[in-house]
């Protein structure tokens, strides 16, 4: 189905069942279920100790992916929406317990190497034995064809550190309008 740009009707235009279905039924059905995707990291991912460059989180499973925006095998770090417009992107990445250094997460569009990304949060890890969660949210404009979202992380503990999957390594991308 998909969204069809509504036509501008003129005096004398013929109204047919197929035109009504395309212009009304199909577009209303498209709006009823907002295009959305939530992906997860189901196993630990090892992150080396460095502030930059960010390391893309490779999402290995999907809670839901209504329109097939994500693949667990081809570019699993990317979510590539197929509808142009505004998107709400939220992510939480949990790191295994370690009380040294800082943890950062960034939401990037079309790569993580853009200056400061779109959204970045840095947290100090201060409690021994407790996982560190870093979360961020952004509203972004995507073209619906080639633009993609990635979540990147970094950590400065001085040694390799795993993401922790007990409470979450996830990203959600939801279309919120044109």
Name the more confident of 97 and 128. 97
Mean pLDDT of 65-80: 96
Provide φ and ψ at 79, rounded to 5°.
-120, 120
Name the more confident of 30 and 24. 24
Residue 46: count other Cβ atoms within 10 Å of its Cβ.
10
Per-residue confidence band for 167, with pLDDT thresholds at 50, 70 and 90: low
pLDDT single digits (tens) 103-113: 999 999 998 86
Distances (CA, A) of 148 to 60, 107, 145, 153: 17, 10, 9, 17
Average pLDDT over the chain, rounded to whole?
89
Per-residue confidence band for 121, with pLDDT thresholds at 50, 70 and 90: confident
* Cβ 56 vs Cβ 77: under 8 Å: yes
Q: Report H helices in the chain.
A: 17-20, 26-32
Mean pLDDT of 121-142: 83
Q: Would you state the pLDDT for residue 116?
A: 53
* Cβ 114 vs Cβ 89: under 8 Å: no
């Amino acid at each position: 189905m998909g969204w069809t740009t509504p036509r501008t009707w003129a005096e004398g235009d013929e109204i047919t069942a197929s035109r009504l279905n395309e212009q009304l039924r199909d577009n209303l059905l498209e709006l009823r279920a907002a295009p959305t995707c939530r992906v997860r990291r189901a196993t630990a991912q090892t992150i080396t100790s460095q502030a930059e460059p960010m390391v893309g989180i490779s999402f290995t499973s999907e809670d839901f992916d209504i329109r097939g925006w994500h693949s667990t095998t081809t570019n699993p770090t990317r979510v590539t929406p197929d509808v142009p417009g505004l998107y709400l992107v939220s992510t939480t990445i949990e790191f295994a317990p370690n009380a040294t250094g800082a943890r950062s997460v960034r939401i990037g569009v079309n790569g993580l190497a853009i200056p400061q990304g779109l959204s970045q949060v840095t947290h100090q890890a201060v409690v021994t034995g407790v996982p560190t969660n870093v979360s961020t949210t952004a509203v972004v404009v995507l073209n619906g064809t080639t633009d993609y979202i990635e979540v990147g992380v970094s950590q400065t503990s001085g040694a390799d550190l795993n993401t922790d999957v007990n409470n979450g390594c996830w990203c959600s991308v939801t279309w919120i309008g044109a």
